[in-house]
C-alpha cells in the first residue's frame, strides 16, 4: 500500500534508507528528473538528478543525523518545518534539470521505526520555477514602477516629491548625529528668454544637459533633483557650506562651458546658472532651510547671475 501511495502520488518523491540506497523513486520524479526508477532504485545515485558532481542532498544529511551541516549546503535557503518534527524545507535552483534548470521547493523528513530510530528519509519536491520567475518579474516591475515614480522623466534626476522625503530624512540624520548638511538650489539664467527665442524643445535640451552636468559632478553621497521648471537642487550630507560651494562652482563652470546649437540659431549659444548654497542649522525647520537656500540663489541672480552665493 505504501508503495502504491508513493508511485501514484503527483508529488515527485524519493526515499533512501540508512545506507543511502534508493528505496522508492516515483513516476512524478521520473518525469521531473528524466531518470527512470529502474535506473536508480537500489543505488546511491539520487544526487545525479540534481547535481553534476557528487554532493549530499538533504535526505542524506537527515538519515545520517547531520542536520548541523544543512546551513553549509543550503545557506539562507532552508527552514525547519513548523508542521513536522525532524523535517526541513528549502528552495533552490538546480541547473542540471531539463530545460535549462528548475527552481525546486523540497521537504525532507525522517522516517523512524517503533523505537524512534531513523530508518529512512523521504524527500518530496515541487517545481516552483514559474512561480519563482513570476515573483521575480513582479518584484522587478515594482522596482521599476518605484523608480519611475520618483524620477523626473526629462532629466533622469529625482523629482521634487522625492526631494522632500529625502531632505526630511537627511535633516533628521544631521540632527541625530550632529553632522553637517548643505543644500544647493540652481536656476538657469534667462531661461524664459531662451524658450521664447528658440522654442520649448530646445529649452528641454538645456534642462537635460544641466541634469547631466550636475550628475557628473556629484559625489556618491550627494543626490540631485529637478525641483521644478528650470530649478534644480542638490542635497549634500556630511558637507559644510564651504565644501558645498566648491562643488557648486564646479557645476557652474562646467555648465557655462556647454555649447548649444538651437535650430535656427546658426551659432553656438552658452547658458549659465545661478546657484544658492546654504548649510543647515541644527533643529531648523525644513521650510526655513529651503527659504534661506532660495534667498541665496536670488542673491546670486541679483549680483549679476552666473555665480554662486553662499551665506549660512
Say yes or no: 104 and 171 in one domain: no
CA dist 33 and 237 (Å) reads: 55
Distance between CA atoms of residues 60 and 38, nearest Å: 20
Are both 120 and 40 inside the same structural domain?
yes
In this structure, are residues 244 and 235 in contact, taking their beta carbons and an 8 Å threshold? no
Decide if pLDDT at 221 tops 70. yes
56 confidence band (pLDDT: 50, 70, 90): very high
Q: Which of 96, 129, 108, 152 has its CA nearest to residue 16? A: 108
How far, CA to CA in Å, does 34 sit from each of 26, 40, 101? 12, 12, 12
Pair (201, 160) in one structural domain: yes
Residue with cell 530510530: 117
Residue 142 within any structural domain of the chain: no
User: According to the model, what pLDDT value does residue 94 have?
Assistant: 87
Total number of domains constituting the chain: 2
For 287-296, the pLDDT digits (tens) are 999 999 999 9
Looking at the fold, whether 69 and 19 belong to one and the same domain comes out as yes
Question: Alpha-carbon distance 194 to 2, whole Å?
Answer: 84
Domain-terminating residue out of 133, 163, 186:
133
pLDDT at 4 over 80: no
Handedness of CA 287, 292, 295, 296 (dihedral sign): negative
* Cβ-contact 121, 16 below 8 angstroms: yes
Of the residues 230, 231, 249, 254, only one is catalytic, namely: 230
- Which helix H or strand E contains 87, and what residues bound it? strand 87-94
- At 100, the pLDDT band (50, 70, 90 cuts) reads confident
Among 149-158, 174-183, 258-267, whose mean pLDDT is lowest? 258-267
Question: Quick check: is 69 in a domain?
Answer: yes
pLDDT greater than 70 at residue 265: no
| pLDDT tops 90 at residue 23 | yes
- The rounded distance, in Å, linking the Cα atoms of 119 and 24 is 14
- pTM for the model: 0.62
Please give the full DSSP string across 28-42, using - where no structure is assigned.
Answer: HHHHHHS--HHHHTT
State the average pLDDT for the chain.
Answer: 91
Q: Is residue 182 part of a domain?
A: yes
- More confident site: 165 or 139: 165
Q: How far apart are CA 243 and CA 62, in angstroms?
A: 61
Average pLDDT over residues 127-150: 79
What per-residue confidence (pLDDT) applies to 131? 83
Average pLDDT, stretch 36-45? 94
Provide the pLDDT confidence category of residue 264 given band limits of 50, 70 and 90.
low
Question: Are residues 67 and 127 located together in one domain of the fold?
Answer: yes
- Does 141 map to a domain? no
Q: How confident is the model at residue 24 (pLDDT cuts 50, 70, 90)?
A: very high
Question: Does one domain contain both 158 and 283?
Answer: yes
Residue 144 inside a domain? The answer is no
Higher pLDDT, residue 277 or 267: 277
* Judgement on whether residues 98 and 205 belong to the same structural domain of the protein: no
Of 133, 165, 189, the residue that ends a domain is 133
43-65 average pLDDT score: 92
Q: Is the pLDDT of residue 261 over 80?
A: yes
User: Which of 305, 300, 302, 304 lies closest to 277 in space, CA to CA?
Assistant: 300
Which range (39-43, 74-78, 228-232, 243-247) has the least confidence? 74-78
Q: Is residue 30 part of a domain?
A: yes
Where residue 271 falls among pLDDT bands split at 50, 70, 90?
A: very high
Q: Structural domain of residue 279, as residue ranges?
A: 152-310
- The residue-averaged pLDDT of 27-53 equals 92
Is residue 95 in a domain? Answer: yes
Examine residue 143 and state whether it is found in any structural domain, yes or no.
no
Identify the helix (H) or strand (E) that includes residue 102. strand 102-112
Give mean pLDDT, residues 138-152.
79
Inform me whether the pLDDT recorded for 304 exceeds 80: yes
End-to-end CA distance of the chain: 84
Q: Which three cell numbers stand for residue 12?
A: 515527485
Q: Residues 6 or more apart from 293 whose CB is under 8 A from it? A: 183, 184, 185, 233, 276, 277, 278
Ramachandran sector of residue 269 (left: φ over 0; alpha: ψ -120 to 50; beta: rest): beta
- On whether both 114 and 167 belong to a single domain, the answer is no
Helix (H, G, I), strand (E, B) or coil at 133: helix
List, edge to edge, every strand of the sheet that includes 181-188.
223-228, 231-237, 181-188, 273-279, 308-310
List, for residues 6-18, the tens digit of each pLDDT value.
Answer: 777 889 999 999 9
| Torsion sign (Cα): 114, 119, 123, 124 | negative
Residue 32 is part of a domain; what is its CATH number? 3.30.450.20
pLDDT of 196: 92
* Cell numbers given for 35: 531518470
State the average pLDDT over residues 144-166: 89
Please say which residue of 103, 133, 163 terminates a domain. 133
Higher pLDDT, residue 46 or 131 = 46
pLDDT of 226 > 90? The answer is yes
Say if residue 93 is in the same domain as residue 203: no
Active-site annotation holds for 123:
no
pLDDT value for 145: 73
Q: Are residues 202 and 300 in the same domain?
A: yes
Amino acid at each position: 500500500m505504501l508503495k502504491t501511495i508513493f508511485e501514484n502520488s503527483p508529488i515527485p518523491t524519493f526515499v533512501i534508507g540508512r545506507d543511502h540506497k534508493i528505496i522508492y523513486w516515483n513516476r512524478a520524479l521520473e518525469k521531473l528528473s528524466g531518470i527512470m526508477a529502474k535506473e536508480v532504485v537500489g543505488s546511491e545515485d539520487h544526487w545525479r538528478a540534481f547535481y553534476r558532481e557528487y554532493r549530499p542532498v538533504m535526505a542524506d544529511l537527515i538519515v545520517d543525523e547531520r542536520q548541523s551541516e544543512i546551513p553549509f549546503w543550503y545557506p539562507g535557503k532552508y527552514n525547519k518545518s513548523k508542521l513536522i518534527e525532524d523535517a526541513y524545507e528549502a528552495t533552490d535552483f538546480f541547473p542540471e534539470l531539463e530545460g535549462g534548470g528548475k527552481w525546486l521547493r523540497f521537504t525532507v523528513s525522517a522516517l523512524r521505526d517503533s523505537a524512534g530510530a531513523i530508518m529512512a528519509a523521504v524527500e518530496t519536491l515541487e517545481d516552483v520555477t514559474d512561480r519563482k520567475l513570476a515573483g521575480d518579474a513582479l518584484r522587478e516591475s515594482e522596482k521599476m514602477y518605484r523608480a519611475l515614480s520618483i524620477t523626473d522623466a526629462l532629466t533622469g534626476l529625482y523629482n521634487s516629491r522625492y526631494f522632500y522625503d529625502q531632505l526630511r530624512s537627511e535633516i533628521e540624520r544631521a540632527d541625530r548625529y550632529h553632522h553637517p548638511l548643505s543644500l544647493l538650489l540652481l536656476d538657469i539664467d534667462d531661461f524664459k528668454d531662451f524658450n521664447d527665442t528658440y522654442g520649448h524643445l530646445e529649452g528641454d535640451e538645456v534642462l537635460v544637459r544641466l541634469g547631466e552636468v550636475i550628475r557628473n559632478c556629484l559625489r556618491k553621497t550627494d543626490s540631485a533633483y529637478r525641483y521644478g521648471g528650470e530649478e534644480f537642487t542638490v542635497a549634500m550630507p556630511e558637507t559644510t557650506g564651504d565644501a558645498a560651494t566648491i562643488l557648486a562652482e564646479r557645476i557652474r563652470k562646467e555648465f557655462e562651458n556647454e555649447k548649444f546649437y538651437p535650430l535656427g540659431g546658426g551659432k553656438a549659444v552658452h547658458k549659465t546658472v545661478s546657484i544658492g548654497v546654504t548649510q543647515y542649522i541644527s533643529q531648523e525647520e525644513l521650510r526655513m532651510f529651503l527659504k534661506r537656500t532660495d534667498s541665496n540663489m536670488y542673491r546670486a541672480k541679483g549680483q549679476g547671475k552666473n555665480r554662486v552665493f553662499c551665506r549660512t
